[in-house]
Amino acid sequence: MPLSFIYVLFLLGLGIFLVVMVQVGAISIAFEKLGLSPSGGVVLLLGSLLGSGINIPLYLHERKSNVSHVDQPLPILPWGLPRRLFPGKTLVAVNVGGCLIPGGLSLYLLSAQSLNPVAVVLSLVAVTAVCYLLSRPIPGIGFGMPMFVAPLFAALIAILLEPANSAPLAYIGGTLGVIIGADLLHLRDLDRIEAQVASIGGAGTFDGIFFTGIIAALLA
C-alpha cells in the first residue's frame, strides 16, 4: 500500500505540473524546439505517463548472499516501507514510459537533426558521469537521483557545445545520460537495493528522465 500511495501521489503531482506547464505553453515550446508537432508532443506525453506503469521483463538476477528484510524509510515520507522478506532474486525489467519512449525519441532526434557527433558524445559522456556519481540505491525501490540536476546540466552542456541545436542535444544527452548513468551502470549494484523488481527507467529514475526531456529542451 505505501508504494501504491506514493505512486498515486507522484502521478497527482506530475499531473498538476503538466496542467501548469500546458497553461503557460511551456510543453508546446519544448516540443516545438525539438521539431515535433503539438499533437506528436501530446502523444509522447500520454505514452510516457501510461507507459510508466508497464515493465517488460529482461532477466532474473539472483543474489549471492542469503535472503534479508527490507525496512528503509522513504526520503519524502516519515514512515518506512513494510518489513518484508526479500527472496534474493531481482527481476530486471525495462520501463516503457521511462526508457523505451524517451530512448526512441532520442534515436529519432539523432537521425532527424544535424547534430555534431563529437558534441553528442561529449554531452552524453558528461551527463552520464554526473548521473552515475549522484544516483544512489534506494532499498526496496531501485536507484534514484536529484530530479533537476540532469536537465540543468544537460541544457548547460548543450548550449556550450552546440548553441544552434542545443534543444535536441540537451534532450538526447539528458534522457540517455540518466538511463545509462543512473540505471544501466548501476545494474552491478542490484544486491544493494534488495528489490524484487529493478526497472530501467522506472521507479526512482522515471521522474528524472521525464522532467529532463522537457526541462532540458525548454532551457536550451
Look up residue 76 and give its DSSP letter. Answer: S
Question: Are the C-beta atoms of residues 143 and 201 closer than 8 Å to each other?
Answer: no
- Domains held by the chain: number: 1
Grid coordinates representing 202? Answer: 522506472
The confidence score (pLDDT) of residue 160 equals 92
Supply angle C-alpha 142, 147, 152, rounded to 5. 140
CA dist 185 to 128, 136, 179, Å?
Answer: 9, 12, 9
The confidence score (pLDDT) of residue 92 equals 84
What is the number of H-type helices and E-type strands within the chain?
9, 7
| Domain carrying residue 35 | 2-219
| DSSP secondary structure, 191-206, as one string | HHH--SEEEETSGGGH
**pTM assigned to the model:** 0.75
Q: What is the pLDDT along the chain (220 residues), one digit of tens a residue?
A: 444 566 666 667 676 766 666 655 666 677 777 777 777 777 777 788 788 788 888 888 777 654 444 444 444 444 444 444 555 677 888 988 888 988 998 999 888 888 899 999 999 999 999 999 988 877 766 777 777 788 889 889 989 998 888 888 989 998 999 899 888 888 887 777 776 777 888 766 666 676 776 777 677 6
**For the chain, what is the radius of gyration of the CA atoms?**
17
